[in-house]
Amino acid sequence: MYPSIANWHAKAPLRAEFQMHGDLGVPGFVERVAARCPGLPDGVLALLVDGRTCLDHGLLRPAVVLMGVAYESAVEAFADSLVAKKLLPDQVVAMKAAARIGKVKAMIDELVPATTPMERDRRFATHAAYDFADALRRRRNDASHTAPSYGFDDREEIEELLISAGRHLPALWSVHVD
């Protein structure tokens, strides 16, 4: 069922807020994410575009799957860089997504200093990004099975997942190891 025009207008302030902060529907979204995430693999960006395309066509379940895979790909790439720098054991590469996210999240306090208020905010944002990564992983996993625990008929929920993924991705990716 499509939202009524009254419902659409009632939510205009909310839509405007999303657009100010990087809504996936605003032109140039992927370019802004790429600019905020230098070195992010091209495959992640392609999956973001594909997820948005699915959403535009009302394919909510595939949109969640693609966004989840995009996010997991970013976590994998970052975990691989930590393994290459010998900050994580080689076994992390072969771990399932949940375990990999947990291993990387456990390293945040070592990788992100928190001596100034700005650094503490950055550490908090990075923890939030990895918490979101795990939540999105669970939702993506649910979308990949024949009997999902929750439906995929709430467009607003899926839009919020996609928008949140775009907002959290820079914090997830920004933890650079020198």
Instruction: Indicate the pTM of the whole model.
Output: 0.80
CA distances from 32 to 2, 22, 104 (A): 30, 8, 25
Residue 25 lies in a domain: yes
Average confidence score pLDDT of the chain? 83
Could you tell me the end-to-end alpha-carbon distance of the chain, in angstroms, rounded to an integer? 51
Q: pLDDT at position 104, please?
A: 93
If one counts the domains in the chain, the total is 1
pLDDT tens digit sequence for 26-50: 667 778 888 889 989 999 999 988 9
Residue 18 — pLDDT band, cuts 50, 70, 90? very low
Residue 154 lies in a domain: yes
pLDDT at 68 exceeding the cut of 90: yes
pLDDT tens digit sequence for 111-132: 998 999 999 999 999 999 999 9
CA distances from 78 to 3, 95, 158 (A): 39, 14, 25
Residue 131 lies in a domain: yes
Whose tokens are 């291993």? That residue is 103
The two structure tokens encoding residue 90: 């080689």
Residue 120 lies in a domain: yes
- Give CA torsion, residues 57, 59, 60, 66, to 10 deg: -100
The predicted model gives 153-158 an average pLDDT of 88
Residue 69 lies in a domain: yes
CB 37: neighbour CB atoms within 10 A? 18
Residue 35 lies in a domain: yes
Three-state DSSP state, 137: helix
Residue 178 lies in a domain: no
Residue 103 lies in a domain: yes
Domain that holds residue 54: 5-173
